[in-house]
Amino acid sequence: MVFADLPQAVVVSGAGCEEANGVYKATEREYCDAPVYEHAERGQELKITREPHKNAKTGAVKHGWLLGQSARPLYGAPTESLTVPASGWKKFGGEEPVPTIKTLLHADEIFFISADDSKLAGDDALEQKDWKGAIQHYTAGIDILKRTNDRLNEGFRSRACLLLTQRGTAHLQLKESKAALRDAVAAMDLEHSAAEALAVDALTELGFKDVAQKILEPVGSGKILDPAAPLVLRCVDRWVSEIASHFSEADAATELPMPIHMPSDRYLDGLDEETRAAVIKRYIPEEPFGGTGVISNATDCFELMKKWEEVFSGPEFQSKRKALWDRRDLSFPLRLKETRTMVAECLANVLEPMGFAPGRPGLARCVKQMQVHWSTDKNCANKALDLEELADVSLADLE
């Protein structure tokens, strides 16, 4: 059962039993009409549960919350509330003092608190001109934000923008201009113009002072970052490297490179190159011939996407999508593979009559042609966002 209106996390601090301190997350289990909370690191060893207590004389049943370790109650608070109380806690088998309790309605708030701590540590290092130390702290904060669920809210975007801008500033101090530009571009794509000065400084260091504004024109449109994984910056690294290697300041007609989003970026983030290559070879092999289907223009693309929308919004597809996402035995690469197969099968009656090959090869060919129009036609771009919401997957990952 999902308790959306009840706290999804509980932060315990200051307890006399130090091992009881930490973050407790709501599980999918319930007891006494309330969520069961487990320690984020110690799991079922430490729990916070709502417990019943029956009066031996009257037979009346009252409730309270217990913080226990291996079935041994440490602290408790009597209350009929379905929410873990912030006060009223008493010592049972634990040690004084009793803990301070803070409830968080959204689990993402846990990550926000940790990310804020990392930023403060980074700011201190930056003030001391410890550039490498600052980068480490800011990177830690960025990695924490990657674990959040809601990446569209203001809390996420503002924190990510600040961390990226500060890290880029430290990179620039170390003369790491490409890394500084990468962070600035990512920050600008989250909140347009927020890190523009940093981006211009980095471009100046790279020798592109006079064309800095032209290079930054597409930044802030939301096309540079992967919207489903905005802090996975390999796509930005590639874009910056392409500019540094091939963009000509002397030739005003030189076209900017297109940002390329690869499925492997999102799911293999944090792996070294050797491990990435091995996983890609195993789970994302080269696809065979995708057929002869052609999407000639933006109008054809938009009409085809409307047919996709009919399929994605139908009960059959939604039932399959839910069943797939409810599976707990799939790693990210396997889930992506299964999602591609599911989408290809559901769209078979739409794609195959157009000449696209059956299964994933035809789907990949179709998506690759669609991407051209997503970046040049507003109606197609908006429809792509609608489809991603219905399918619960980035369309670029279906290629």
**In this predicted model, what pLDDT tens digit does every residue of 50-64 receive, in sequence order?**
999 988 888 899 999
pLDDT band at 48 (very low <50, low <70, confident <90, very high): very high
The distance in angstroms from the start CA to the end CA of the chain is 35
Q: What was the pLDDT predicted at 52?
A: 95
Superfamily classification of domain 109-261: Tetratricopeptide repeat domain (1.25.40.10)
Q: How many CB atoms within 10 Å of residue 179? A: 20
Q: What pTM was computed for the model?
A: 0.59
Per-residue b or e along 232-271, where b marks 16 or more CB atoms closer than 10 Å to that residue's CB: bbbbbbbbbeebeeebebeeeeeebbebebbbbbbbbbee
How far apart are the C-alpha atoms of 356 and 365, rounded to whole Å? 7
Sheet holding 72-78, edge to edge: 90-91, 72-78, 61-69, 43-54, 34-39, 22-31, 9-13, 100-104
Residue 100 has phi, psi (to 5 degrees) of: -90, 130
Q: What was the pLDDT predicted at 323?
A: 86
Q: What was the pLDDT predicted at 354?
A: 85
Does position 280 have pLDDT exceeding 70, yes or no? no
**Nearest alpha-carbon partner for 340 in 359, 317, 354:** 359
- The SS3 call for residue 246 is helix
Better-scored residue on pLDDT, 284 or 351? 351
Express as a percent the part of the chain with pLDDT over 70: 94
How far apart are the C-alpha atoms of 384 and 366, rounded to whole Å? 13
Strands (E), the chain: 9-13, 22-31, 34-39, 43-54, 61-69, 72-78, 90-91, 100-104
Task: State both tokens at 118.
Answer: 């990392």
CA 282, 294, 260, 156: dihedral to nearest 10 degrees?
-90
DSSP alpha helices (H): ranges in 92-173?
108-127, 131-145, 154-173
**In this predicted model, what pLDDT tens digit does every residue of 183-204 receive, in sequence order?**
999 999 988 777 999 999 999 9
**In this predicted model, what pLDDT tens digit does every residue of 68-106 receive, in sequence order?**
999 899 999 999 999 999 999 999 999 999 999 999 888
Q: What was the pLDDT predicted at 284?
A: 58
| Mean pLDDT, residues 217-237 taken together | 85
pLDDT band at 310 (very low <50, low <70, confident <90, very high): very high
How far apart are the C-alpha atoms of 208 and 254, rounded to whole Å? 13
Does position 251 have pLDDT exceeding 70, yes or no? no
**In this predicted model, what pLDDT tens digit does every residue of 123-178 receive, in sequence order?**
999 999 999 999 999 999 999 999 887 777 888 999 999 999 999 999 999 999 99
- The SS3 call for residue 295 is coil
Q: What was the pLDDT predicted at 96?
A: 95
Q: What does the chain come to in residues? A: 399
Q: How many CB atoms within 10 Å of residue 9? A: 22
Domain ranges of the chain: 9-105, 109-261, 284-398
- DSSP of 326-343, one letter per residue? T-SS--HHHHHHHHHHHH
**In this predicted model, what pLDDT tens digit does every residue of 360-384 receive, in sequence order?**
888 988 988 888 888 778 888 888 8
> What mean pLDDT, rounded, does the chain reach?
87
Q: What was the pLDDT predicted at 91?
A: 95
Q: What was the pLDDT predicted at 66?
A: 97
**Which of the residue ranges 164-168, 208-212, 298-302, 324-328 has the most confident prediction, judged by mean pLDDT?**
164-168
Q: Are strands 72-78 and 9-13 parallel, antiparallel or unpaired?
A: unpaired
Query: CA-CA distances (angstroms) from residue 220 to 131, 194, 235, 350, 352?
Result: 27, 10, 15, 34, 37
83-87, 223-227, 274-278, 387-391: least confidently modelled range: 274-278
The angle formed by the CA atoms of residues 203, 207 and 209, to the nearest 5 degrees, is 60
Q: What was the pLDDT predicted at 49?
A: 96
How far apart are the C-alpha atoms of 84 and 81, rounded to whole Å? 7
Better-scored residue on pLDDT, 266 or 134? 134
65-79, 130-144, 241-255, 315-329: least confidently modelled range: 241-255
Better-scored residue on pLDDT, 389 or 139? 139
How far apart are the C-alpha atoms of 333 and 345, rounded to whole Å? 19
Long-range contacts at 279-288 (CB < 8 A, ≥ 24 apart): 279/333, 282/333, 283/333, 283/334, 283/336, 283/337, 284/333, 284/336, 284/337, 287/360, 287/361, 287/364, 288/357, 288/361
